[in-house]
Structure 1
Amino acid sequence: MNRGFLDLMFITNNPSVAVAAQDCGVKRIWVDLENLGKEERQKGMNTVKSKHSISDISALKMVVDKSELLVRINPINPDSKSEIDEAIERGADMLMLPMFKTIKEVSLFLQYVNNRVYTNLLFETKESYEIQDKLLEMGGFDEAHIGLNDMHLSYELTFMFELLPNGLVEDMCHKFKYYGIPFGFGGIAKIGEGLLPAERIIAEHYRLGSTRAILSRSFCDNQYEDYNKWKYEFQLGLNQIRLFENLLPLLPESYFKENIEEVKKGVDKVVSIIKAKRNEH
């Protein structure tokens, strides 16, 4: 089976889960150190708020030998330099900067990393969108990711995938492509699952030129304590994604135009459901 076009990432600090993921072709194992301000921003939301620690990098580095180790650090703060230095010393292959709002924050991040590892900017605030042009002109970073969850909160929207039909993601993607910056956005559930079917989202990744996505936690059921069961879960889910990806180059342009309309209908439906539930309380 062909690999597909998406480099897939999974967030975990469990070495056995990480090995199962990489053995099934997950490109990046993601250690999530970000905790500053996250609880307040995403309070009450069904999102993953990790309890990872910097020592997890060392533990994963001992077993992750085929996938890359991506580490999301905290937003720029007085301890950023020491956190970045330690993450690199412990074996991070790429560092990701979240929640930035200014050119200065990005400049400090790049200065602290000093070309020792690859860098990824996580665009997830309205301010980051507003300075995208300046950052692309400045350059110096390797990749970018659009964080739909915090970005939609930043714009006070109801559902993170509203950012697809409203044009913001498309605008950002066009600019990344123009400057030759590899990019991705959001995450994807298993085929046939998710508030918005994963197939719709993957087709948008393909249309917009995105080559990175985060796998949702549904790809690994943490009730298991067995490598083989974890590997089975990953392999089954990834095989379905790859089969669908391999169909996309064969589809006519009309399919993607229709898909955009279906995404909009699906988003409107989810927004209506969420607002109705909020009104009940």
Structure 2
Amino acid sequence: MLTLMLITKHPSVARHVHACGVQRIFVDMEILGKHERQGNLNTVISDHTLNDVASVRTAVPKAELMVRLNPLHTGSDREVDGAIEAGADFLMLPMFRSADELARFSKIVNGRVGIIPLVETREAAGDIRRVVRVPGLHEVFLGLNDLHLSLGLKFMFELLANGTVDRISDVVQQAGLRFGFGGIARMGEGTLPGDLVLGEHVRLGSQSVILSRAFHKGLGEVELARSQRDDFWASVSAVRAFEHSLARRTPEQTLQDQLRLQSIVAEIVASRSQQEAA
């Protein structure tokens, strides 16, 4: 069963989504360099703090709590200590470029909590065989958005269509580590339908995924009405039901779904190329 993650700093939201079956709450403290990378894109740049980590921990004591810190910098020691003291179970390191950089982060953590490196740069992806040998890793997560930008691609799901995710997942799982990637929209929704993306998670043996903004429709960012929360519960239930059905696909059905995804990705990339040329 996939570990579902949702990004939020709101304790009441964390309680609700955990009750709906979201196993891992994701508090996002990354800010350094993010405006420069993503300021012109339709992405959320969070403003979460250590106080938020502590509040969410209190709200959901039985949920997994992951905190994404800033890329390695002079204040990383303080950030690591603060997040652990606030109750983090896992720490995510973004935007690292080598196994050596990740190893320096691991030395700071010193085995106190699990590390989930976020592979989202060309250099980290190229160094993946050394990355998986760094001590203290719980899981390796592939960040499709920044990685596709780093590789000069037009659409983040090209990484699924061109075999990049396959290659990295093989290395990670051969090392005996958990693997996850990207985010999903609701079943049947999204630029690339969420059901096709979920099918790739099942095919690849992925063990974690982020419920995207397109999935939760802002629930992680603000307090919403009860009707919208009920809608979220139904959407999580739909993911679980479809995940169960995907596990029963024949090899032929799995291949058909993969080819359909590749075809849609190719159409999206071609359309964006035409728009750029116009």
Q: TM-score range by the shorter chain?
A: over 0.9
Percent identity, aligned pairs only, is: 41
Q: What is the RMSD of the two structures over their aligned residues, measured on CA atoms?
A: 1.6
Q: CA deviation at 1:227?
A: 6.2
The reply to whether residue 124 of structure 1 matches residue 105 of structure 2 is: no
Q: CA deviation at 1:142?
A: 1.4
Q: CA deviation at 1:86?
A: 0.6
Structure 1 length-normalised TM? 0.93
146, 164, 178: which one aligns with 1:168: 164
Paired residue secondary structure (1:160): coil
Structure 1 unaligned runs (5+)?
Answer: none
Q: Superposition pairs for residues 81-100 of structure 1, below 5 Å?
A: 81-100=77-96
Amino acid at match of 1:263: L
38, 43, 52: which one aligns with 2:48: 52
Q: Superposition pairs for residues 60-71 of structure 1, below 5 Å?
A: 60-71=56-67
What are the superposed Cα offsets for residues 40-88 of structure 1, whole Å, 9 maximum, x if unpaired? 1113211111111221111111201231110000000000001110111
Counterpart of 1:255 in structure 2 is 253
Separation of aligned partners in 1, 2:273 and 2:16: 38
Query: Which segment drifts farther, 221-230 or 23-32?
Result: 221-230
Aligned CA distance change for structure 1 residues 221 and 129 (closer, same or farther; 3 Å): closer
Q: Is the 8 A contact 2:13 2:223 kept in 1?
A: no
Aligned CA distance change for structure 1 residues 180 and 112 (closer, same or farther; 3 Å): same
Separation of aligned partners in 1, 2:148 and 2:25: 25
Q: Superposition pairs for residues 1-281 of structure 1, below 5 Å?
A: 5-222=1-218, 225-226=223-224, 228-280=226-278
Q: CA deviation at 1:15?
A: 1.3
Q: CA deviation at 1:38?
A: 1.0
What are the superposed Cα offsets for residues 191-237 of structure 1, whole Å, 9 maximum, x if unpaired? 01111111111111111110100001234344874463353132111
> How many residue pairs align between the two structures?
276
Structure 2 length-normalised TM? 0.94
Separation of aligned partners in 1, 2:262 and 2:239: 22
Paired residue secondary structure (1:250): coil
Q: Is the 8 A contact 1:23 1:231 kept in 2?
A: no
Separation of aligned partners in 1, 2:80 and 2:133: 24
Separation of aligned partners in 2, 1:249 and 1:123: 26
Give runs of ≥4 in structure 1 deviating > 6 Å: none
Structure 2 unaligned runs (5+)?
Answer: none
Separation of aligned partners in 2, 1:65 and 1:140: 23
Query: Which segment drifts farther, 18-27 or 129-138?
Result: 129-138
Separation of aligned partners in 2, 1:53 and 1:105: 24
